[in-house]
Amino acid sequence: MSLQTQELNSIIPDLRELSLERLAELGDSALAHEIALYRQRLKETDVPLSAFQARI
Amino acid sequence: MIVTHSLPADAFTALGGGAGDSVVVRRLHEAQLSKHLMLLHVVAAAAAGIDPPSRAVAAFRAGYRLLARIQAADPAAVATLLGLPHIGSWAHECLACLDNGTSPDFGYLATAAAAVAIGLGVPFEVEVPASAGRVSLPGLGCLEVASQDEWVRLSSDGQRLRVGGHVDLECAALVPDDGTGEAVPYWRGTPLVRVVADGQAWEVLLETGDKYLDRYPLPMRTAMTASDVRCWRRLIQAAWELLLRHHAWAAGPIAEGVRVIVPFESHAGLESAASQAAFGAIATSLPPSAVSLAETLIHEFQHVKLYGLMDMVPLVEPGGERGYAPWRQDPRPMGGILQGVYAFTGIVRFWDTQRQVETEPDEVLQASVLYERWRLAIELATDTLLKGGFLTPTGARFVTALRERGQRGEPVSAAAAEIARDVALDNWLTWQLRHTAVDAAGVAGLAAAYQRGEPRGSEPLPDAWIKDDVRDIDAVIPRSRVLDLRFQEPRRYRQLSDADVAGLSAADVRLVRGDADAAVAAYRAVLHVAPDPAAWIGLALAVHRFPAETTRPVFAARLPLLFEMHACLAEQGIHADPLDLVAWFE
């Protein structure tokens, strides 16, 4: 079964090629959208941030 | 411009089939590295805003500068460090602290930077946090610092490491403990397990000291003796051989994606876990056998992969709805049910192969029952997910593929199928009676109609809804434990002793000994006296032993309503025969 014909875009910014120096220089707004989305996702899926989820 | 990670169509298709090869797992891991960097950016921004800097913030900044310096010369080494599950868990914890308005553990980054600098022989000097006389270096090991100070200065010329004012160590000796080196004073290397079979290797750390990987439902086993570690090494080697020879679809991806095993403290049963915060780590108590460890690795790595995918692509719609997870005795959120379906897709594939591999009849039976039991679970749980509108369109495609994957095996023997159906039914009936509330007015109306001798008619049944522990029933009834022996310990079940059935009711004893006729009569007698939930479940199980019995669907679908009607009538002094009541609904 073909699940998908196109690649799926994620909410995770690709930061692999960004040096830590450059990462530190990014302003608050550069990743604000992605970080807010990630926080929202964690809340929506009811995953606690500070404790690991119990087995399924 | 910063782009986002994407997942190729074929990678998504492979994951939707329940698998995904090493290349797919590498893609998930790459996205996790970026996630860790994104969270590190959040922590760095918070640290930058603190003026004057606390000792911890100063340590964070020094650690960050050290990592940046190392990265300029060796970006791969820093990527390896920052991709560790230790860092993911720490970064999640920092995010939680910032959201809660508490101070994150800034200083941990300095220990991470020191770990990679020591490993590479890079000169450095940083102050790091210590706890109980120890400094934990993520992915490397633990320094004993011979003081109770909360902060310790580490300095190195690239050759020697100076720990505070007391200890001087050779950097090259500060490595994980792969079991071949000499003991090093003041140093406890994290146990490293290297296994090889059929020319393929897997390296995995046994993490016993990092506080950010000690956050699972059971505590980490921190005091591992040399004998304990040898036991783990032997078991991992044997499980690796089994995986490579019979479950190659899982072996390569596990070697690619599982960097850390967190041993749990000893526990009565086998417990294991994975976390969205710690991609690449799985936690487990010591399994009793290589087969059990192999199954656990597959099980937990399924969770790891799905956590990685769900970080990238939403599969479940937001909402607080809960439902029945056929592997649990509590109502679960839809995200948890999806996690279970994915885990059991791997487990079903594992047992589908094992039932061909095993040669002893009892082991074939066990593998066959486990295959069938979890195949049925996938069927039921995917129904719940797909019919309830709980999934995103992408999630619906994903779950449809999982459902198809779960149906591919050859049928099991009649004996195995019967046990699997029986165990699944027992769990379902127990869950329903525990967690399904029924509208009392509707029940009273039906009870009155029954009492008047009217036909059931076509009126809608009373409303029912999920409610935690609406009736007081044990999660695992003693009878169920004995019935599970049929596949868990078949020989013992064939020779059930009086001790095995101690504590069971007379009706239960008849059921577990296979006398379904007598069991039905005995449960009816019990229920004539009082509406007992466990007796209702036992009666339903006994009735299901008769394939031609037409009331079986009523028992399976309406047990909470039957129980409530029976109880309602009993309160009025009417002791309805349960089989008459069931027949009324046919």
Beta strands B4-7; B192-197: pairing state: unpaired
pLDDT band at A47 (very low <50, low <70, confident <90, very high): low
CB contact (8 A) between residue A3 and residue B9: yes
A-chain residues near B45 (CB < 8 A): 28
Mean pLDDT of B355-378: 96
Q: What is the pTM of this model?
A: 0.93
Specify whether the CB–CB gap between B172 and B157 falls below 8 A: no
Percent of chain B at pLDDT > 70 equals: 100
Spatial separation of the C-alpha atoms in residues B232 and B229, rounded to whole Å: 5
Å between B289 CA and nearest CA of chain A: 21
The continuous run of DSSP H or E covering B78 comes out as: helix B75-82
Cα angle for residues B345, B4, B57 (degrees, 5° grid): 100
Query: What are the C-alpha distances in Å from B351 to residues A55, B299, B382, B426, B548?
Result: 20, 11, 19, 21, 30
Mean pLDDT of B476-497: 93
Taking the alpha carbons at both ends of chain B, their separation in whole angstroms is 66
Give the Cβ contact number of residue B571 at 10 Å: 11
Spatial separation of the C-alpha atoms in residues B236 and B287, rounded to whole Å: 10
Which residues does B572 contact at the CB level (< 8 Å), separation at least 6?
Answer: B447, B451
Pick the residue from chain B with its C-alpha nearest to A54. Answer: B217
Of B542, B512, B503, nearest in space to B524 by CA = B542
Specify whether the CB–CB gap between B520 and B539 falls below 8 A: yes
pLDDT (tens digit, 9 = 90+) per residue, B491-534? 999 999 989 899 899 999 999 999 999 999 999 999 999 899 99
Give the Cβ contact number of residue B518 at 10 Å: 16
> Is cis: bond before B52, omega within 30 of 0?
yes
Q: What are A's interface residues with B at a Cβ cutoff of 8 A?
A: 1-16, 18-21, 23-24, 26, 28, 30-31, 34-35, 38-39, 41-42, 44-56
Beta strands B260-263; B200-206: pairing state: parallel
Spatial separation of the C-alpha atoms in residues B437 and A46, rounded to whole Å: 24
pLDDT (tens digit, 9 = 90+) per residue, B314-355? 999 988 789 999 999 999 999 899 999 999 999 999 999 999
Pick the residue from chain B with its C-alpha nearest to A27. Answer: B45
- pLDDT confidence of residue A5: 64
Spatial separation of the C-alpha atoms in residues B263 and B439, rounded to whole Å: 46
- pLDDT confidence of residue B474: 83
Query: What are the C-alpha distances in Å from B156 to residues B56, B72, B120?
Result: 20, 19, 11
Spatial separation of the C-alpha atoms in residues B470 and B477, rounded to whole Å: 16
Spatial separation of the C-alpha atoms in residues B376 and B419, rounded to whole Å: 12
CB contact (8 A) between residue A56 and residue B332: yes
Mean pLDDT of B215-244: 95
Ranges assigned E (strand) in B190-331: 192-197, 200-206, 260-263, 272-273, 281-284, 322-323
pLDDT (tens digit, 9 = 90+) per residue, B246-278? 999 999 999 999 999 999 997 778 899 999 999
B-chain residues near A55 (CB < 8 A): 217, 271-274
- pLDDT confidence of residue B388: 86
